[in-house]
Amino acid sequence: MASDTDHPAGATRPAPSDGEFAAGLRIAILRLARRLRVERGDESLTLSQLSALASLEQLGSCSPTELAEAERVQPPSMTRVIAALEAHGYAVRAPHERDRRQAVIAITAEGRRVLDETRRLRNAWIAQALGELSAKELAQLAAAIPVLARLAER
């Protein structure tokens, strides 16, 4: 938790319950996220499909249930997402090595390529936008990264 000494002299610390502060932060984050979502390697993929693909890359081969849990969605919703990823050739389903009644899902090389391209496009957009900021603004953003990351983990 930040102390009052973490703020420059004369700066007031916003109260966590300050609705105006929270609303301003929420709007800024949503607009930035919306803008980043536009940048993707395969525009036919939904955001849910792209997110599941990234989770598959991170988790490695996993069951549909494990993937649904990682994505915080219900298994029937994940079934549809997996089917779409398979149809695009971005994921493959294989029998579980110990329990043949279960399946495991894995990302394909083409799925990795789409994720890499999406990341490249998003990083390029951010780099271009950051190039328009002052050194002070860049320093402020750099200081905010760990805080935003911590908020995202909640």
Alpha-carbon distance 33 to 26, whole Å?
Answer: 10
1 found inside a domain: no
Q: Counting Cβ atoms within 10 Å, is residue 112 exposed (0-12), middle (13-18) or buried (19+)?
A: middle
pTM for the full predicted model: 0.76
**What is the domain extent for residue 120?**
37-152
113 found inside a domain: yes
31 found inside a domain: no
121 Cβ contact list (under 8 Å, min separation 6): 39, 40, 41
Mean pLDDT of the chain: 88
- The string of pLDDT tens digits covering residues 100-139 is 778 999 999 999 999 999 999 999 999 999 999 999 999 9
* Domain count across the chain: 1
Token pair, residue 92, equals 């493959």
Confidence of residue 6 (pLDDT cuts 50, 70, 90): low
Count CB atoms within 10 A of the CB of residue 82.
Answer: 23
Query: How high is the pLDDT of residue 11?
Result: 58
Query: How high is the pLDDT of residue 99?
Result: 76
**Is residue 105 classed as helix, strand or coil in its secondary structure?**
strand
Token pair, residue 77, equals 């919703």
22 found inside a domain: no
Token pair, residue 51, equals 């997110």
92 found inside a domain: yes
Alpha-carbon distance 154 to 149, whole Å?
Answer: 9
Query: How high is the pLDDT of residue 2?
Result: 44
- Measure CA 136 to chain center: 27
25 found inside a domain: no
Query: How high is the pLDDT of residue 8?
Result: 52
- Measure CA 152 to chain center: 10
105 found inside a domain: yes
Give bridge partners of residue 92 from the DSSP assignment.
Answer: 106
* pLDDT for 1 beyond 50: no
What single string gives the DSSP state of each residue in 46-86? -HHHHHHHHHHHHH-SB-HHHHHHHHT--HHHHHHHHHHHH
Residue 105 sits in a domain of what CATH number? 1.10.10.10
19 found inside a domain: no
